[in-house]
Chain A
Amino acid sequence: MTLPTQLVLRVLLDDPSQERYGLEISSAAGLASGTIHPILARLENLGWLESRWEEVDPKTEGRPRRRYYRLSPDGVALAGAALARTSATALGRLRPGLAGGAS
């Protein structure tokens, strides 16, 4: 899992029930604006993310609708497990004895 994907998942896992739009997620994750959509598309294709249009009428509001994302129920569990595995692997690389719990 790439570092940008991990950063995005951490943001989404902060409050899994909260819906956020792309720019909001990339700002919170510290990614360059405009680079988030490929990551969101991959996660959505995996079924980890759900998305929906903002419920406003663009004609009334005079602006385009935002697309909101949040983790799916499966996504919450899978993303949490994936991040835990990634952390354990990273820790294992730094201190091999710690990753598996053996000394």
Chain B
Amino acid sequence: MTSASRSARRLTRALAELKNQKQWIYPELDYLQETLTRVDGFMLASAAASYIDNEIEKLTFGPNEPGLVGYWQALQRARVHAQALEAALVADSKTSFTGELTAKHMSSGGAEVAMVSAELSGDRPSPLAWRADPAAPGPTCQRLVALAAHVLPEGHRLRYAEEFRADLREVPRRERFGHALRLVACAWELRRSLTLSAARAEEHR
């Protein structure tokens, strides 16, 4: 098991623990946890870390607040594991997030996915100029869209990456993270649909 896998499992457990605190209900946590489980944690560390950091920023109480000590500690633990996962992924690939997407986890994806992930990460000017769009989603959502597209069969990635981005852009800002996570969570089902249809087409030839 790689250190990234270990960190991913720890983060998954930390998120479960966070949810069990039952202080509040975060629908996003369900998606995050489900998605982490499905992809064995790869590439969502950044999304998890951003999400947890946002939650910590929003806290209006300290570590010793009566009744909230467990939640506060669970949030801190989740942050530690999310950061550890990010560090492990970088150490594994010795590259930036974009490099990691293209060089390691997307190695079978080919040039088109490299283009999409580089574009989404902002490492080069976008051929679609969408980063100049003031309504464009933030980097975490962009990474999730890249991941959702990566899950799909190679010939469908560019189409769905653009379609996902067009839809995401029209979702209200505060709902975008949940929307992007749902895209990732549903990507496996979409992949199955696309793969089955390709197999049927092959049978009919």
Chain A residues packing against B (C-beta within 8 Å): 21-23, 32-35, 37-38, 41-42, 45, 54, 58-59, 62-67
- On whether the beta carbons of A38 and B166 are closer than 8 Å, the reply is no
- On whether the beta carbons of B166 and A21 are closer than 8 Å, the reply is yes
Range class of the B interface residue count: 35 or more
Chain B residues packing against A (C-beta within 8 Å): 127-130, 132-133, 135-136, 159-160, 162-167, 169-171, 175, 178-183, 185-186, 189-190, 192-194, 196-197, 200
Enumerate the 3 nearest inter-chain pairs by beta-carbon distance, A residue then B residue, closest first: A34-B182, A45-B197, A38-B189
Chain B contacts for A37, CB-based, 8 A:
160, 163-164, 183, 186, 190
Contact for A38 among B167, B178, B181, B186, CB less than 8 A:
B186
Chain B contacts for A38, CB-based, 8 A:
186, 189-190, 192-193
Contact for A65 among B127, B162, B182, B200, CB less than 8 A:
B162
Chain A contacts for B169, CB-based, 8 A:
63-64
User: Given A37-B160, A41-B197: A59 and B166 within 8 A (CB)?
Assistant: no
29 pairs of residues in contact across A and B, judged by CB atoms under 8 Å:
A23-B167, A23-B171, A32-B182, A33-B179, A34-B167, A34-B180, A34-B183, A34-B186, A35-B186, A38-B186, A38-B190, A38-B193, A41-B190, A41-B193, A41-B194, A41-B197, A45-B196, A45-B200, A54-B166, A58-B128, A59-B127, A62-B130, A63-B133, A63-B169, A65-B162, A65-B166, A66-B163, A66-B167, A67-B166
Report the bound CA distance from A95 to B106 in whole Å: 54
Q: How many pairs of A and B residues are in contact by the CB < 8 Å rule?
A: 80
Chain A contacts for B165, CB-based, 8 A:
64
User: Given A63-B130, A64-B162: A42 and B193 within 8 A (CB)?
Assistant: yes
**Which of B133, B166, B183, B197 has the most chain A CB atoms closer than 10 A to its own CB?**
B166
Report the bound CA distance from A66 to B163 in whole Å: 6
- On whether the beta carbons of A64 and B186 are closer than 8 Å, the reply is no
Report the bound CA distance from A35 to B182 in whole Å: 6
